[in-house]
Amino acid sequence: MSYYSSGVIDRAYAGQEIGLTLMKWAETYTSEIGRNRVRFDCVAHNDGLNKYYQKRYPLQGVLHDYGEHCKYEKVVQVTSVA
């Protein structure tokens, strides 16, 4: 599994699909390094980011470590073994 956290995109660049591009890159990179799952998370109270992630990834659960964090995960096809 590859885990990605703490990505931030300046609101001045909203609507340019930079976040989507980064998530697609993460999926591709994850498969290229031989891992079969990609995971993103965010704080549970960030409604906007949770809705954004839910458009592409299923919610896997809510972690209760250091506050509540929603965890999103997707299986990707491995294309290489690093």
Say if residue 4's pLDDT is above 90: no
Say if residue 31's pLDDT is above 80: yes
Cβ neighbours of residue 34 closer than 8 Å, sequence gap 6 or more:
78, 80, 81, 82
Buried b (16+ CB within 10 A) or exposed e, 47-60: eebbebbeeebeee
pTM for this entry: 0.83
Identify the three-state secondary structure at position 15.
coil
- Compute the distance between CA of residue 66 and CA of residue 54 in angstroms, rounded to an integer: 22
First-residue to last-residue Cα distance in the chain:
13
2-75: what CATH class?
A: alpha beta
- Domain spans, the chain: 2-75
At 17 the pLDDT is 93
At 80 the pLDDT is 76
| Rounded mean pLDDT, 58-79 | 93
At 65 the pLDDT is 86
Binned at pLDDT 50, 70 and 90, residue 3 comes out as: confident
